[in-house]
Amino acid sequence: MKAETGDRIAKVLARAGVASRRGAEAMVLAGRVSVNGTRIDSPALNVGPGDRITVDGKPLPAAEPARLWLYHKPAGLVTTARDEKGRETVFDALPEGMPRVVSVGRLDLNSEGLLLLTNDGALKRKLELPETGWLRKYRVRVNGTPTEESLEPLRAGMVVDGERYQPMIAGIDRQQGANAWLTIGLREGRNREIRRALGALGLSVNRLIRISYGPFQLGKLAKGAVEEIRPRVLREQLGTLAGDPPAAPPRPTGRPQGKRAKRPATPARGRPARRPPPRKD
């Protein structure tokens, strides 16, 4: 029954929205999943499109297409499915009607701003990869009076407590009393990276807002609000989505795609082409 190709059973169950991958593995171990009429007891099984999968005797629903949402995370929420200290999580605060989603990266308890959410684990991992190279921008308020020169270690890359941070984009927006507003951009997302790096420069962060993640912008999205990215925009930004079949080719329209090609000048129908006047000697 084990297929040479295909995907692990837990991944298939997760893609269908039954449970998280870890939850799906628990369901398999509990004997709730059958493949081709045989109950399985190990998640170490690959299945393909031709396999019949049931959960608790019911056919597995079709896999949901990959989707992506923008979420304006307020400060005071933890970005985890469950919190051992009982604090409210991002997923507790999502509007009603949202499907099961996971976050792309994290924002810590006191950080706010743009958090990407997806229903697709493969898309999540794709967007989190450093190789994606997407710039993440933050507006950061610090206590202190930084100068452009004092921020140079951020731009050059620095080591904090034995951990090397890659070069960041750093600029001063304005000084506001005892605080200054900065714009920071980075292409990796280590835990508390901005806070630790600025702290090493003697600047204490008292507010941190993510304003963009690659091409996706926080804009005027209200705190606590969610906005889904349209599939066409996703295709434009990501190419073929992880796990999605390739989009059907567009129907021919007689026009080239993208910018309209300039047509060569032709005379109007039924009229002879205008000739230049004869030269007068």
Structural domains in the chain, CATH included, are 7-59 (3.10.290.10), 70-129+216-242 (3.30.70.580), 135-213 (3.30.70.1560)
What does the alpha-carbon distance between residue 119 and residue 249 come to, in Å, rounded to a whole number?
A: 25
pLDDT of amino acid 273: 44
pLDDT of amino acid 49: 84
Give the pLDDT confidence of 163-212 residue by residue, as tens digits: 999 999 999 999 999 999 999 999 987 889 999 999 999 999 999 999 99
More confident residue, 21 or 140: 140
pLDDT of amino acid 63: 74
Cα torsion for 195, 221, 94, 142, to the nearest 10°? 20
pLDDT of amino acid 268: 41
Question: Of residues 51, 83, 108, 244, which has the active-site annotation?
Answer: 108
Residue 257's pLDDT band (cuts 50, 70, 90): very low
First to last CA, the chain: 94
Q: Report the pLDDT averaged over residues 249-258.
A: 39
Of 52, 56, 61, 63, give the one whose Cα is nearest residue 11.
63
Question: Is pLDDT at 214 greater than 60 in this prediction?
Answer: yes
Residue 4's pLDDT band (cuts 50, 70, 90): low
Residue 244's pLDDT band (cuts 50, 70, 90): very low
pLDDT of amino acid 277: 54
b/e map 101-117, b = 16+ CB within 10 Å: bbbbebbeeebbbbbbb
Give the pLDDT confidence of 151-166 residue by residue, as tens digits: 999 999 999 999 999 9
pLDDT of amino acid 104: 92
DSSP reduced 3-state for 24: helix
- Whether the model clears a pTM of 0.85, i.e. scores above it, the answer is no
- 208 close to 106: Cβ distance less than 8 angstroms: no
What does the alpha-carbon distance between residue 107 and residue 92 come to, in Å, rounded to a whole number?
A: 15
Q: Report the pLDDT averaged over residues 215-225.
A: 96
Give the pLDDT confidence of 36-81 residue by residue, as tens digits: 999 999 999 999 888 999 999 999 887 778 899 999 999 999 998 8
Helices (H), 161-230: 193-200
Q: Report the pLDDT averaged over residues 86-104.
A: 91
Question: Is pLDDT at 112 greater than 60 in this prediction?
Answer: yes
Q: How far is CA 104 from CA 27, 118, 129, 235, in A?
A: 25, 7, 10, 18
Give the pLDDT confidence of 226-238 residue by residue, as tens digits: 999 999 998 888 7
Residues forming beta bridges with residue 118, ordered by sequence position: 68, 102
DSSP reduced 3-state for 253: coil
| 108 annotated active-site | yes
b/e map 13-45, b = 16+ CB within 10 Å: bbbbebbebeebbebbeeebbbbeeeebeebeb
Please list, in sequence order, all residues whose beta carbon lies within 8 angstroms of the beta carbon of residue 129, skipping any fewer than 6 positions away: none
